[in-house]
Structure 1
């Protein structure tokens, strides 16, 4: 089983089967795939019948290859796994922005590598910055980036619960299952 296939199985197990919580903006969801995402990928059936195989294919295509987390994996496999999980829960754009913000904040005022645009895309500049950070900081580099991403993600969840009281129903689960 590929690394990404293992990550997908973990997400599907964590997300569970069919849910349709009244406070969840995603609406009807199965295996963590919202109805909107399923429709965008051509699935028109009842969400409570979405096949696991279709969910897995959506995860691989849209949450691994499309945002280019497979490119991150070449340098930092644990970080790629974190970005994938964050992307599934918050959107891949948010996950990439967290990475880019963290890299900029950790470049020691440009001494280790130049700041990069927070453009929410994994491109050559982001990959070069990541490679430079890992080369400069060594074996702990991935763990530090994961902590930074977790911190940004956790702060986002708390702000979301504070600004939208209906989201408080999900805060405990987000912090339990998505951080750390």
Structure 2
């Protein structure tokens, strides 16, 4: 599996054009909001957003720029989860979940030092992932995935609790993004 497969999966999951009245993102196509499209040079009608534009945005904004390809060299499953969470919640949120989970799983810094939760995937975060993966292997990756999904699920519920209109999306978020 590669990033192209992840992008294909996201586009399939997100579907085509929508403009749900409860969605603060406004007009959206293939999961790309009009705000993101405009900020990245697309000026056309969101109903006709070319798939190639969506694919390029997903790859650049949610894989290349945050450096998740570097995490993929250590653990593909973790990088794939980071990508998916970034698409839905933003890169900074996905990376902060990752740093928090790594901190919580380092056995009081016996395995690697705590990370500053700066929401940036840098050398120290990658080093912590490498140390965790070396110590825990594939089983550890599954545990780390559970921690990431627990943080994501809690965030979805908090979003629904803080804004009742988000309840329209909660079931889908949990069904399609967790586990």
Scaled by the length of structure 2, what TM-score is found? 0.99
Q: Aligned runs of 1:19-168 on 2, under 5 Å?
A: 19-168=18-167
Alignment partner of 1:75: what SS? coil
Q: Quick one: distance in 2 between partners of 1:92 and 1:52?
A: 21
State the 1:138 CA deviation.
1.9
User: Deviations 1:114-148 (Å, cap 9, x if unpaired)?
Assistant: 00110011100000000000111122121111100
Runs (4+) of structure 1 exceeding 2 A deviation are none
- Residues 23-70 of structure 1: per-residue CA shift (max 9 Å, x gap): 101100001000000001100001001000000000000000001010
Distance (Å, rounded) in 2 between the aligned partners of 1:5 and 1:139:
23
SS of residue paired to 1:109: coil
Take 2:137 and 2:74, find their aligned partners in 1: how far apart are those partners? 11
Q: Distance in 2 between matches of 1:46 and 1:157?
A: 29
Distance 1:134 1:145 in 2: 10
C-alpha separation between the residues in 2 aligned to 1:57 and 1:84? 14
C-alpha RMSD of matched pairs (Å): 0.7
Cα distance in structure 2, aligned partners of 1:122 and 1:162: 29
Structure 1 gaps of 5+ residues are: none
Following the alignment from structure 2 to structure 1, what is the Cα–Cα distance between the partners of residues 106 and 174?
A: 28
Between 16-25 and 138-147, report the one with greater CA deviation: 138-147
**TM-score, normalised with respect to structure 1:** 0.98
Which 10-residue stretch deviates more, 134-143 or 116-125?
A: 134-143
The aligned length equals: 179
Tell me the residue number matched to 2:176.
177
1:12 to partner: Cα distance: 0.3
